[in-house]
Amino acid sequence: MPEELCFVPADEEHVRREREKARQLRASQWWKNLRGQGICYYCQKRIPPKELCMDHLVPVIRGGKSSKGNIVACCKPCNNKKSHLLPVEWQEYLEMLKQQAK
For the whole model, what pTM was predicted?
0.86
Integer CA distances (angstroms), 54 to 13, 38, 59, 76, 97, in order: 20, 12, 11, 9, 24
CA max distance for the chain: 44
pLDDT of residue 10: 86
For residue 60, the Cα-to-chain-centroid distance in whole angstroms is 10
Angular region, 17: left φ>0, alpha ψ -120 to 50, beta rest: alpha
17-31: b (≥16 Cβ within 10 Å) or e: ebeeebeebeeeeeb
pLDDT of residue 44: 95
pLDDT of residue 98: 87
Q: What is the pLDDT along the chain (102 residues), one digit of tens a residue?
A: 555 567 778 899 999 999 999 999 999 999 999 999 999 999 999 999 999 999 999 999 999 999 999 999 999 999 999 999 999 999 999 899 889 987
Per-residue pLDDT tens over the stretch 24-38: 999 999 999 999 999
Q: Show the domains of the chain with their CATH numbers.
A: 12-101 (1.10.30.50)
